[in-house]
Structure 1
Amino acid sequence: MVDIAALARLGGVRKYGIDETLFHFGDPGHEMFIILKGHVGVYINSLDGSPLQVAALKDGDFFGEMSLLENMPRSATISALEDTVCLVIDESNFEQVIAQQPGLAFRIMKGMSNRLRQQNEELSFHKHGSQPQEEESSTGVSRASAPLPLNSDIYPPGHKAYPLIAEATHDTYLFDSETTCPVCEKKFPVKMVRSSKLRLDKIEPDMRQHFHDFEPLWYAVWICPHCYYANFNFEFKQVSDALVKKIMEQGQELKSKIKINFSSPRKIDEVFTSYYMILHTLQAGKVDPTKSAKIWLRLSWLYSDVEDEEMYNYTSEKALEAYSESYFNTRRNTSVEQDQRLTILLGELCLRVDQKEEALKHFRNSIVRKGGNNNLNRQAEDRIHDLREALNEETP
């Protein structure tokens, strides 16, 4: 049992407000944390790139030990679910903490052992061929008149201006904050999502999450107004030093063509611009198909929301192309369950573009009896059953 009161007397205590992020996935770090009071959520990136809560930690729990002991980057994003107080442990006070709480050393070793055992089990079940290496609607938006054609350097042919704006209910789930751009190192204001308030409504077969009265997709991208660097908010700090100059040059070229200005309430046109800006930022280096796949998938969801079938089909094809490239031709450090989700998503994307036989193959490949997720197995089986019936009806 960890003596929380004794630990608090050691100093190094930090306080975090509700919805405040302690660190993001991939961030460098050299500290571990023990929760003295409060709760935090542990988030990983789902297939579409959105944060997915996988655990909640409470008083006495700890996290970040791999960064302290192995100087490894953060393996998840940690966000406060309520006002939280943590003891921060680094090399300067680690020995003192262990001396006062010797049982903590055993808990840390046990936690690391469990993590390594889980990873080894996942690798042993890894599928053959993969290489280890990642009107008013229920979401609160309003419609106006019909879409208008729109031309710009960053949009593909066929993209339009769409009369969709966020409802006032979105404000309940947002708060204002400030961040520093990792490219130009200038500060700018951002909208943060109160993840503790989100209420999941349903999950679509293509893994899209729907929430009551709010659409996180509208606020998932940050754009620096100074240099025009754009990225998902949960990956915003992850930029290579080698790409900084190129991104700055790209931004200068865009400034005379595109104005970055988020309205209140936010407009869907601004949301589309933000996602296409990430695609533009990716052109500064070698394009990662996994990253571009996440963007195209989200764009397809947005085009579905504005009922633009032509652009929905176009972005669905682009998402399928990018996810296929990621699945077949890149090195991935993924678990069995993550591979199941990916193959199910590939099947769903194949269905969108009327590739039923390919979809059937992907759904079959997503069924893993040993080490797989039973819910995903059932989802794949249901899709196979429905697809076989559809194919039989088409057969003369």
Structure 2
Amino acid sequence: MSSVAVNHIQSFTKGTVLFAEGTPADAVYFIAAGKALVIRGEQQISLGPGAFLGAVAFFQESRYTYTAVCSTELKALTITKENSREVVSRQPAVALALLRELAMQVPETGEPVFIQGRQETAAAAEARTTDALLPEGHPVFPGTVPVEYGDLVFPVEVECPACQTKFTGMRIRTSRLQLAEQRPDFRNVYRNFEPNYYYIWVCPKCLFAYPERQYNRVSDLAVRRWQSATAARPPQATFEFSVPRTIHEAIVSYFLAMKTYEVIGAAPDLWANLWLRMLWIYEDLEEEELARKAAEKARLYFAESLATTARSAGGDQRLYMILGELDLRLGNRGEAYRNFHAAATMTAGDPRLKKVASDRILDLRSGQ
């Protein structure tokens, strides 16, 4: 490739949306290094070096018919109306000829067709290596998080506290989230995002998995325990989130965190919060039996945390409220009433939480 062409090569971070379906086609991307994922409805195609993205729509001066997302760090030759003549004039006309050939390959159905660089879908390859990380009999859920989530997270370099491997973690742009409601169990529901799919960071090498907000605040004792365990039994799999990440990968990350918790002897509150988020995910997926099991686990650990860990009156109130909500899910109305009553009558508690707890007691009495 000539120096002029090289000057038009751009670098993109993992997770970058090159273009979205329905937007004006103002550029073609020729992948020089890395991978991209093409998404149209339920169809996903993984493309690597040599692939052209957006060629058909560009030459037809129309709109993109699919979304293209960088599934790894990516370098691409970007061709626009302004630089296309310059790029082609310094090449043996192969690039432009191939682009025109691709434009002629489109069937009447409008399905995207790719000649160069087609690879196995990243999600499919990842699923094969991560299935074994789930408990036996656990279903593998299809689908990915919405592509639009990519605009609400940003990549950061993370160093695994256990093996010092550097990897890319995704951090949430909290200022852009649109809160729809806060439910009685303190779940924040957003109009435009589901943060529970991004709760866990996972080291791709040693599989140390921990909540994102606490990943760099792990105790030395926990690190030593994990190092000893992995030295004795090195991980037999690797793990890396696809872009966009799959529902399957998000759930696997929770079970990897459970493995980490078992080894390091995690505190009950870590277990409780993990299972509570699993409960919310299963409820969203309408998996009643899995949701019930998650509720049972969450309740067990929240009760243990309440009995063994000192916290503020407001903190205890929150735990009583969560326990009451879990009791309702499990059909234990008597226990729910006792927990809500404890939250409503706690000395020095938060008046707002007292009001919420009192309202829940009224709901119980009215049969709701």
TM-score by length of 2: 0.61
Q: Is the 8 A contact 1:184 1:227 kept in 2?
A: yes
Q: Write out aligned runs for 1:273-312 (5 A).
A: 273-312=252-291
Residue identity in the other structure for 2:350: N
Cα distance change of structure 1 residues 196 and 365 upon mapping to structure 2, 3 Å threshold: same
Matches within 5 A, 1:32-181: 154-181=133-160
The Cα offsets for residues 327-372 of structure 1, whole Å up to 9 and x where unpaired, read as 12x131x222221111010000011111110110000000147533
Match of 1:226 among 176, 200, 205: 205
State the one-letter code of the partner of 1:384: I
In 1: Cα distance, 2:193 partner to 2:266 partner: 31
**Structure of higher CA gyration radius:** 2
* Counterpart residue type for residue 302 of structure 2: Y
Cα drift, residue 213 of structure 1: 1.1
Choose which of 343, 347, 363 in structure 2 pairs with 1:386: 363
Tell me if the contact between 1:162 and 1:268 (Cα under 8 Å) persists in the aligned partners.
yes
> Following the alignment from structure 1 to structure 2, what is the Cα–Cα distance between the partners of residues 192 and 176?
6
Residue 367 of structure 2 aligns to a residue whose secondary structure is helix
Equivalenced residue count is 240
Structure 2 residue 251 is the aligned partner of structure 1 residue 272: yes
Deviations, residues 283-324 of structure 1 (Å, cap 9, x unaligned): 123331111001111101111111111100001000001111
Q: Which residue of 2 aligns with 1:372?
A: 349
Q: Structure 1, unaligned stretches of length 5 or more?
A: 1-147, 392-396
1:11-22 → structure 2 map (5 Å cutoff): none
The whole-number CA distance in structure 2 between the counterparts of 1:347 and 1:195 is: 28
Helix, strand or coil: the match of 2:156?
A: strand
- Give the 5 Å matches for 1:193-342: 193-251=172-230, 253=233, 255-256=235-236, 258-328=237-307, 330-332=308-310, 334-342=311-319
Note closer, same or farther for the CA distance 1:156–1:313 as it changes in structure 2 (3 Å cut): farther
SS in 2 for 1:255: coil
Shift of 1:158: 4.6
Contact 1:154 1:280 in 2 (8 A): no
Distance 2:221 2:351 in 1: 43
The equivalent position to 1:185 in structure 2, one of 142, 164, 169, is 164
CA distance in 1, matches of 2:136, 2:286: 17
Secondary structure, counterpart of 2:366 in structure 1: helix
How far did residue 275 of structure 1 move? 1.1
Quick one: structure 1 residues 287 and 355, their matched pair in 2 at CA, closer, same or farther if it must change by over 3 Å? Answer: same
Partner amino acid, structure 2, of 1:377: K
TM-score, structure 1 normalization: 0.57
Kindly tell me: are residues 251 and 298 of structure 1, through their superposed partners in 2, closer, same or farther at Cα, counting changes over 3 Å? farther
User: Which amino acid in structure 2 is aligned with residue 355 of structure 1?
Assistant: N
Structure 1 residues 295 and 267: alpha-carbon distance in aligned structure 2, compared to 1, 3 A threshold: same
Task: Give the counterpart letter for 1:375 in structure 2.
Answer: R
Instruction: State how far apart, in whole Å, the 1-side matches of 2:213 and 2:330 are.
Output: 30
For 2:244, the aligned partner's letter is P
Q: Which amino acid aligns with 1:352?
A: R
Q: Kindly tell me: are residues 317 and 369 of structure 1, through their superposed partners in 2, closer, same or farther at Cα, counting changes over 3 Å?
A: closer
Q: Report the equivalent of 1:98.
A: none
Q: Is the 8 A contact 1:316 1:352 kept in 2?
A: yes
* 1:390, distance to aligned residue in structure 2 (A): 2.4
For the residues of structure 1 that align with 2:257 and 2:331, how far apart are their CA atoms? Answer: 28
- 1:214 partner letter: F
Shift of 1:164: 3.1
CA displacement 1:112-160 (0-9 Å, x = unmatched): xxxxxxxxxxxxxxxxxxxxxxxxxxxxxxxxxxxx9x99665345521
Relative contact order higher in (CA < 8 Å, ≥ 6 apart): 1
Judging changes above 3 Å, is the alpha-carbon distance between structure 1 residues 255 and 293 closer, same or farther for their aligned structure 2 residues? Answer: same
Q: Deviations over 1:197-247 (max 9, x none)?
A: 122111111111111211111112111112211101111012232333431
Assess if the C-alpha contact under 8 Å between 1:303 and 1:312 holds in 2: yes
